[in-house]
Structure 1
Amino acid sequence: MDIKVPRGTQDILPSETAKWQVVEELIRETCRVYHYKEIRTPIFEHTELFTRSVGDTTDIVQKEMYTFQDRGNRSLTLRPEGTASAVRAYVEHKMFGYPDQPVKLYYMGPMFRYERQQAGRYRQFVQLGIEAIGSADPAIDAEVISLAMALYQKAGLKKLKLVINSLGDTESRVAHKEALVNHFEPHIEAFCSDCQNRLQKNPLRILDCKVDRNNPLMETAPSLTDYLNEESAAYFEQVKEYLNILNVPYEVDANLVRGLDYYNHTAFEIMSVAEGFGAITTLAGGGRYNGLVEELGGPASPGIGFAMSIERLLLAIEAENNTWEDLATLDVYVIAMGQAAKKKAVELTYSLRQNNITAEMDYLDRKMKSQMKSADRLKAKFVLLVGDDELEKQSAMLKDLSTGEQQLVPFNSLLEQLQNNLTTQLEEEKND
């Protein structure tokens, strides 16, 4: 039986995981600097969590969720996104009672959506999410957006575009909803069945339709910015002012609509404008979700956040031709010639690893030439050769593969010598 990986999923092999680890470490360090703390939630939740928070008119709920009945006949769903779970945990564990607000969280892990596989888009994908819950200050909106931009910039991306919009408060959206219904209703039969179903429930979602995006009525649809009340307009102006203070460049797009029902006020997307990146340019998206905590049973606690795909980040890095050199370098490759030397090599390799020096050795009893080729393939910085002659002298031959220089080093000073050599090499690389 020829069993392969399920459609829409992928195996990330050791040759690629080094890239993931670099990106994940960059993310964790950036979140630490911004003082966001990690939260880990279950991979599956009660289905009602997503229908109530994400919205039953969204594509995610209607078409993309992996939902199943467990043995207790409970409806459970593999999480399609992370905000709902984070907010559920916020409410369940009464994090709104923490003395320090807002509560600033991040999470990184697999999400699941049944959608057509495309470049950088999978049915199981890894998502980073940022949530700041407990503040209605427009300055926190700017902080969250700046954090997202900082992550991409630290990853070496330069060809980025930030687009922002305001979805307004409840009053503004009610007025805009009425205008949208009046605009689309006379011709709604020309739209897809999804749009027809959304007309009365959530006409704003019609503007996000991929099927009818080229319908002329889309171009002439009432803009939400024209229906912002004074409070919503003032809030949006403050967000833009803070972004200007932070020197975060942005464009205002009145047609930007996020695909989840819980968004209000600030909405934003970050896109790659690198040549050849692909038709789908969005890297990250997010916005404010005042009211979501109340929807899930908590007290009034405004929040804002964003989500980004790690897979698409890696694609964007490659699109800008950023290299991944030296991600999997090895400090030392230990070569043993003969069975007696092999026993010493096992001891030395273990000792080096115990002192945080990455070390590898041969376990196939190959000849020296083959072992040297392995050291080159693994990008080893040094080779440590042990044979009968070296054993007799209680020493090992240490060779610098970058210069070809080699020296005989006694076993009792080998660790110190290697640490000094590695430090020197690192300083030279920094100076270069």
Structure 2
Amino acid sequence: MAIGIGLLGLGTVGTGTAEILLSPQGRHPLLGEVVLKRAGVRSLDKPRNIDLPAGCLTTDLEAIVKDPEIQVVVELLGGLEPARTLILAAIANGKHVVTANKAVIAKYGEEIYTAANKAGVYVLLEAAVGGGIPIIKPLKQSLGVNRITRVIGIINGTTNYILTQMAQHGADFGEVLAEAQKLGYAEADPSADVDGGDAADKIAILASLAFGGRIRREDVYCEGIRSISAADISFAKKLGFVIKLLAIAERPDLEEDALQLRVHPTLVPKDHPIASVNGVFNAILVEGEPLGQVMFYGPGAGAGATASAVVSDIVHVVGLLHSDQVIQKLNPLLGCTHEHYSKILPIDTLKTRFYARFLSRDLPGVIGDLGTCFGQHQVSLESVVQIGLQDDCAEIVVVTHDVHEANFREAMREIEGLEAIKEVPSILRVL
């Protein structure tokens, strides 16, 4: 029996997905049993570089999710609406869903998976995180017997490209962002990428899978890269670091079911496995017991990479449709079974190293005053370096040992009130 596929969206990824579905030769044999029935688009008049079956295109997206000849709905619209409404309608009509939409899953995952479990259908999302990098299924299956302690990801290609270009060419953020927009690596409105929202959506999904609890997207602490300057990248390099936008989910205490979830620019030691991930590439490092460390690396976006992950999910559903098991009970290795919400610790409880850059007026005893203020708040300093002069001010860089974020912030509030301190241009966490 042929399995009918309905595509919602025929943009870059949708077109790549359709191309794979329409040319199954040399691919997984189950693709030979798939038929692309309908593809939903906003306009029928837009030129398209793909030869679709006659009558395939439609602007009636609701008809696709209700079509009795379609068993699998593939949502590639992006955004929250109408994606959420159409996914729920597809589930209500007994369709399995494949999606690349991290935003809708991060925000409405509870509603979507509750409906899917009740209806006895799958919602698969391998393409939602890391493009073509296989990470969703490994976390659910291959790594499922490990006690995961931490997931660290470079999971936004736009910001990684910008930071890489800044490091390699000594350019400032605004200049590189404009270049990235011209090349198509950054959107006209880059906010979701450069302010960390896209990475926060993705780490919420990864944390849910890695730690077995539901995550409220608003609980993910989030900072972007707009404040990163060429000076910070240069100083980081001199100190043996590179700056990356990291998404981190970790369980600080294995005896407690409490997590820390955060997205922020981070100084990464040059010898760390994730430090050499450059350009638009993504990487996800998973740490657990007894596994140790494993890293997944590859293209994090693009038509081919993301379409590969989308069609992989389609093949999984087709395989399940050949089994009576899918009719009787959802496979717990592919479905979403956890119901409780994970406890998320506030950022103030984080224990980490910090980098801070100060502009100081030419007054005596400044470094001593910095040391005193930090010491009074239990902040131990690893290094204090006077780099040079800027606008008649001394430029001082401080790197701390592991300290509690709350203590560091209290010390910084006091330091910012010192007469000698003109400005604190940068505060960054250190991995």
The higher radius of gyration belongs to 1
Higher strand share: 2
Q: The TM-score by the shorter chain falls in which range?
A: under 0.3
Higher helix share: 1
TM-score (norm 2): 0.23
